[in-house]
Structure 1
Amino acid sequence: MGGRESPLILASRSPRRKALLEALGYPLRVVFPEGEEEDLDLPPKALAQALARRKGEGVEGDWVLAADTVVDLEGKVLGKPQDPEENRLFLRLLSGRAHLVHTALYLRTPHDVVEEVHTARVRFRSLSEEEIAWYVGSGEGLDKAGGYGAQGLGMALLEGVEGDFYTVVGLPVSRVFALLWERGFRP
């Protein structure tokens, strides 16, 4: 079964995930899953997996990919900030520290279901209040787990990433490509 006969259905609202898959040339259809942002009382890594599974299971289709990213600061989940004030708080918490980013995958094919969680470690520089105000003022962090985007203006906040950079962005692209390729789904 090849990729051109049926599209890959992306169960995600993330424009970043869509852009990454389109950059690889996959035929793609985006379906917004319902209820994806509900809170569950789970540790960060398990939460990422549960949310990815919920998104994927909520969408019909032969080839369905869902993902969810959770920022984990010493076991505490930093979700998407509710407002600029919470974004400012998150950046203060992350400033000068390392944290984990877990991105979970849910891939359903005509033959199997694959669920995985990929983790990267991110180190933030020590940020001044002026730098935090600049970033919060951009609005970029409001729709992103942890309140920052590593691929955008947020790149100025990072000191380093250990692991797959694209896990931090929200989709471990190399692994997704390999999983699809192994199952005969080609771009």
Structure 2
Amino acid sequence: MSKHESVLSHALAIPAFNKLAGKRVVLASASPRRKEILQIFGLEPEIVPSKFDENLPYTSFENAHEYPVATATEKAVEVYQRLFEDEVSPDLVIAADTVVLSHRLPPTSDVVPSMYPQSFPDIYEKPTSKEDNLRMLLDLNGGTCEVVTGVSVVYPTITAPGYAIKSIDERTIVHFQQNSHRILQAYVDSEEGLDRAGGFAAQGMGGLLLKKIDGDWWNVVGFPAASFFKLVQLLIDEEEDFLSLE
């Protein structure tokens, strides 16, 4: 099996892309948005969707931000283990999971994640129906929520169990306009939000519902590219054997 070249010609000439060049990089997701975001920045990994059921019990986590990180880790490990027996095993598997956390605080410009109360927030994943989508938007309407993406990478090591896992989470604050029920219903009827965490797409018609975004725009769209490439650079700097094993 020949390796798929994941680094595109327009990628910046920086150590992260130099290290990824010629490596088998896999995205454990079928999300077209994550694929498109990585392509924009010069990375085109193989697409191997994870078969993990994504059924971790949300309330079992002490901190809500741990939930998408744990899901992303399970996705990445499942794909890495499944592909390990290939003639060319993966050099890097990337997985992500995004959730929306609802925080009933005034939508002011000085709201930052550290100001949120420690009580467990409501969690919004993908709506199960149009009715569920409307429920989510009514809850979020006129308020502030937090988009959290957990990103995990798995790569080979010489120590047991033969691979290592590194994870990050990215947090972005989204402020909603005070929208009329008519606008919310019209957006739900468009069905754009049905496959989005929180039931809205900031980069699409869902942008009409929003007042502003504090933090990484790409995180709200689907993948925190800047933080991901920063993680790759950190691994290059701190781990001598990172992506160097044959």
CA contact (8 A) 1:90 1:147 kept: yes
Q: Deviations over 1:101-125 (max 9, x none)?
A: 1111101233553211111111100
RMSD of aligned residue pairs (Cα, Å): 1.8
The percentage of aligned residue pairs carrying the same residue is: 33
Structure 1 segment 1-187 matched on structure 2, within 5 A: 2-42=19-59, 43-60=63-80, 61-74=90-103, 75-110=121-156, 112-182=164-234, 183=236
C-alpha separation between the residues in 1 aligned to 2:102 and 2:184? 18
**Where does structure 2 lack aligned partners over 5 or more consecutive residues?**
1-17, 81-89, 104-120, 158-163, 237-241
Cα distance, 1:138 vs structure 2: 1.1
The structure with the greater share of residues assigned to strand is: 1
C-alpha separation between the residues in 2 aligned to 1:118 and 1:181? 17
**Where does structure 1 lack aligned partners over 5 or more consecutive residues?**
none
CA contact (8 A) 2:73 2:165 kept: no
CA contact (8 A) 1:3 1:27 kept: no
CA contact (8 A) 2:176 2:210 kept: yes
Code of the residue aligned with 2:224 in structure 1: it is P
Q: Relative CO higher for 1 or 2, CA cutoff 8 Å, sep ≥ 6? A: 1
Report the TM-score when normalising by structure 2: 0.70
Code of the residue aligned with 1:65 in structure 2: it is I
Report the TM-score when normalising by structure 1: 0.91
Cα distance, 1:51 vs structure 2: 0.7
Q: Count residues in correspondence.
A: 185
Cα distance, 1:88 vs structure 2: 0.7
C-alpha separation between the residues in 2 aligned to 1:156 and 1:87? 16
Q: 1:36 to 1:167 in 2, by over 3 A?
A: farther
CA contact (8 A) 1:7 1:27 kept: no
